[in-house]
Every structure is written in structure tokens, then in C-alpha cells.
Amino acid sequence: AIAGIGYIGYGVYQDRHPEDQIQPDPSKKTLVILGTGWGSVSLLKRLDTENYNVIVISPRNYFLFTPLLPSCTNGTIEHRSIMEPVRTILRQKKASVKFYEAEASSIDPDRKVVRIFDNSEIRGDITETEVPYDMLVIGVGAENATFGIPGVREHSCFLKEIGDAQKIRKRIMDCVETAAFKDQSPEEISRLLHMVVVGGGPTGVEFAGELQDFFEEDIKKLVPDISDRFRVTLIEALPNVLPMFSKQLIEYTESTFKEEKINIHTKTVVKKVTDKTVEAEVTRPDGTKESIVFPYGLLVWATGNAVRPVVKDLMGRIPAQADSRRGLAVNEYLVVQGTRDIWAVGDCAVAGYAPTAQVAGQEGTFLARLFNNMAKTEALEAKIGELSSSLNLQPGNSAAISREIEGYERQLRRIKDAKPFQYSHQGSLAYIGSEKAVADVTWFNGNVAAAGSLTFLFWRSAYLSMCFSTRNRLLVINDWLKSKAFGRDLSR
């Protein structure tokens, strides 16, 4: 029995650390991949790394499963359940891949180098260096848009990275405990327990739903004395929330929010933020404008994406990018316009699609196939060249060699026939609180709109199946069961 356990243990160990990896070879091209998000990691997952010397550079040494990030803000899911270390991903590749935990500060397309820096906490200094590339993939994502509105950067929480979710979780409990402190004035309690979300896209809507769940299912029961003051307000500049969903799902979301007592303020544009208030301008039905001030305890800013400085800097160096505003304009093969050896994927690329995880994932997969085929093409061309020269040397075998050449040429034509990138939309899903979700799904070439509790189960199973690894999947299931059975953890 012990031998059996030992064998299983060895098997698991072997699976985690497969055969010796092929080491870098100076005769191969250097492929540098920036980022460890949806685009870059989808590319890495399917890339035959033995064809290139691959270097991955990212300030984050893990992949983050962003669709479940709003569930980390209230502890439904613990943050490590949706993180996958990049080193684990890379160790499973056939050829070794170098990883540098660093941020790219600039890209020089003429010298073909990326300038990177590592802000080392342990040494307390910044190390800067350059990494040369033959081929470069930019998958650095985007940053939070603030539109230069005063006070936003200083006073709001964003919801993009794992640290943001942790900060929100602490902040919610800080607001609750401070409101429950001895002798607080009623106005102060109301302010502290007013949670304001700006931006009615899927990020803002999902977060508002999670927040209301946290309050209804946990805070209200454990801190009952202040519970009648807790309020969630969602502010959106447009006439409705979730503009990318169908009308019927928008109405369903808005009426569910009403039942959940989440206040929605549409046609309301935030103009200024201070440490305790949000100042906005609302357009009334008769077209008149009015100012409103919302005192808040927690402010979450979810108004979409802005271009990162490293991408802006590169766009400034390439004349063909002069007219692009929202990121790197790419052609149908995801090559950055105006370059030959730089590709871009995900939220930093402008390929005509919404900046979603689904698009980034498909772009990464497309590039992996493209790069694998490019390597195969080179190998086939070399073989054909070799056989063609032997044709003259071995006239007796010419028929067999010609047949072999024809075979390779057929393979080559098939590979070279690579179709351009085309996004296939599988649908949009969003959680809206109280175990309900909305889904616009593509089904047999048609669109199906669904909403409610069954859709919530569909939402959970879809996201579970999309998790990066079995390990992540088990951790997420465990978190769901744990928060259902014991309630969410209120410790700060």
C-alpha cells in the first residue's frame, strides 16, 4: 500500500514537473511577451515554446481570473483561489521560459529592445535594464480611466487587481466598525455606511450586487444595531446600466436592484470627488441639470479603461499609430500597425472588439497558432530546400524525393493559408446579486437572453469551467461552500 501511495505521489510530482525542459538556444529567435493577463497567458498556454527563446516580463508573477474578482471584495471567494502562479504555468512547457518580475517602461521599435525596471521591495531600490527581442507581444492591459476628474485617484478604490479587492474588503469592514463605534452621530453613521459605486458597466453592477449580498446575508445579522443605515448607490452617466446587454436584461437588472434596495442614479455624471463626498450633475427628464452631493464611506470607481503610459509612449514613436486613441491599432493578424515584429493582444490592442477577457483569450490563442505555424513553415521550407538540392545529386530516387517534396509543399500551403483573427462571441454574463445573474448567450447562431436564479447556476458553472486550473476550480468550489455554510468572514 505504501508503495502504491508512493507511486501516486511520484505520479503527481511528475505531472507537476515534467521531463527536463529544453534549454535556450542562441540560434533561435527571442520572443518577448509582456504581461501575464488573459491575452499573454492564453498565448503561453498553447505556444510551442521549443521554437523560440521565450521571455515573459510582468510586474505580476501570477495570472488572475478576473471574472470572479468582485466576489473577492466581500470574501465569497478568497483571493488566492483565483490566482495561478506564472512559474507553475511555465514549468509545464516543453522548453524552458524565462520570467522576469518587472514592469516595462518603454519599447524602442528601432533598436528592438524593451526597457524594464524592477521596483524591489526587498532591496528598497529600482533596478533598470534592457531586454532585446526579435519578436515582441504586448499584452499589458489597460489602466483605470479617471478622465482627469479631481479627487478620483486620491480617494477611490478601483477594481482591477487583487490588491484592489483586498483594499475594498478592508475598507467595507472599516466603515462598518467605525459606524458601530461608541457615540457616532447619526449623520456620520449614514455617511460611513453609504457605499457609492461609479460606473454602471458590468464591473460596477457585479460589485454593487456582491456588496448588497454581503450586507443582507452577513453584516445585517452580525452588526444589527446599525443595519438600517446601510445603502448602496450606483451612479451611471448614461440613461441605463449594462449598455452591452439587451433591453430586457437591462430592465431585469434595474428592477432586481430596486428589490435589493440598491439605488441607481442614471444620467448622472460625477464631476468631483473629495475625501467624504461625490459631487455629480444629474440631467432631469425635462433636460435641466442639477447638482447632487453624495456623502460616502466607500467609493468604488469602475468607469472603464485608459491607455497605459508604456503603450502611449510606443504609440508616439510609430507614425502609423498617430490616429489611434484607445490603444495600439493592430491589423487582422494582430500585428501592431507600422511595425513588422510587434503584436498586441487584449485591452491594450485596438482590433475592433470590446476590451473583454473573452476577446483577449481568443487573441492569445490565435497568436499561439500563428507562431507555431511560423516555426513549422520555416522548418518545412528548410526541408524542401534540402530535398530539392539532393534531387540533383540522387537522380535515381528523383520520383520518391519529388513525391516527398510535394507532400511538404501541400503541408506548407495549408499552414500558409492562415486565416486572419476573427472573434467568436460566446456571450456576456453578469452576476447581479441575491443569487441572480443575466446572460446574453450565443446559441446555435442565435441569441438567447436569460435572467434569474437558473442563470445564476449557469453563471457559476460557466465561470468554474473557465478557471485556469483544477487547483483553482477546487479552491473556488470550497470557497462557495464555505461562505454558504458558515457565512462570510467579517475580520478585517
Least Cβ distance, residue 305 to ligand NAD (angstroms): 6
Least Cβ distance, residue 265 to ligand NAD (angstroms): 9
Least Cβ distance, residue 309 to ligand NAD (angstroms): 19
* Residue with smaller CB distance to ligand NAD, 133 or 301: 301
Q: Which residue is nearest to ligand NAD (CB)?
A: 201
Instruction: Say how far apart CA 204 and CA 251 lie, in whole Å.
Output: 16
Least Cβ distance, residue 460 to ligand NAD (angstroms): 13
Those residues with Cβ within 8 angstroms of residue 65's Cβ, 6 or more apart along the chain or in another chain: 82, 83, 84, 466, 467, 468, 472
Cβ atoms within 10 Å, residue 140 = 29
* Residue with smaller CB distance to ligand NAD, 34 or 430: 430
Least Cβ distance, residue 69 to ligand NAD (angstroms): 8
Q: Which residues bind ligand NAD (CB under 6 A)?
A: 149, 198-204, 235-238, 243-244, 269-270, 302-305, 354-356, 428-430
Least Cβ distance, residue 325 to ligand NAD (angstroms): 15
C-alpha cell at position 341: 515584429
* Residue with smaller CB distance to ligand NAD, 53 or 203: 203
Least Cβ distance, residue 371 to ligand NAD (angstroms): 26
* Residue with smaller CB distance to ligand NAD, 146 or 227: 146
Residues 42/90, Cβ–Cβ less than 8 Å: no
Least Cβ distance, residue 474 to ligand NAD (angstroms): 23
* Residue with smaller CB distance to ligand NAD, 84 or 206: 206
Instruction: Say how far apart CA 446 and CA 460 lie, in whole Å.
Output: 22
Instruction: Say how far apart CA 334 and CA 349 lie, in whole Å.
Output: 8
Residues 300/319, Cβ–Cβ less than 8 Å: no
Residues 405/388, Cβ–Cβ less than 8 Å: yes
* Residue with smaller CB distance to ligand NAD, 238 or 293: 238
* Residue with smaller CB distance to ligand NAD, 164 or 260: 164
Least Cβ distance, residue 269 to ligand NAD (angstroms): 5
Q: Measured between alpha carbons, how far is residue 276 from residues 19, 158, 214 in Å? A: 57, 16, 22
Among the listed residues 133, 141, 143, 71, the one whose alpha carbon sits nearest the alpha carbon of residue 108? 133
* Residue with smaller CB distance to ligand NAD, 219 or 429: 429
Q: Provide the residue type at 25 as one letter.
A: D
Instruction: Say how far apart CA 384 and CA 394 lie, in whole Å.
Output: 15
Least Cβ distance, residue 161 to ligand NAD (angstroms): 13
Instruction: Say how far apart CA 350 and CA 329 lie, in whole Å.
Output: 5
- DSSP sequence for 131-161: EE-SEEEE----EE--TT-TTHHHH-B--SS
Residues 216/434, Cβ–Cβ less than 8 Å: yes
- DSSP sequence for 351-395: SSS-S-HHHHHHHHHHHHHHHHHHHHHHHHHHHHHHHHHHHHH-G
Q: Measured between alpha carbons, how far is residue 485 from residues 28, 413, 458, 489 in Å? A: 54, 58, 21, 11
Residues 288/281, Cβ–Cβ less than 8 Å: no
Cβ atoms within 10 Å, residue 226 = 18
Provide the residue count of the chain.
492
* Residue with smaller CB distance to ligand NAD, 18 or 150: 150
Least Cβ distance, residue 429 to ligand NAD (angstroms): 5
* Residue with smaller CB distance to ligand NAD, 118 or 279: 279
* Residue with smaller CB distance to ligand NAD, 81 or 253: 253
Residues 103/195, Cβ–Cβ less than 8 Å: no
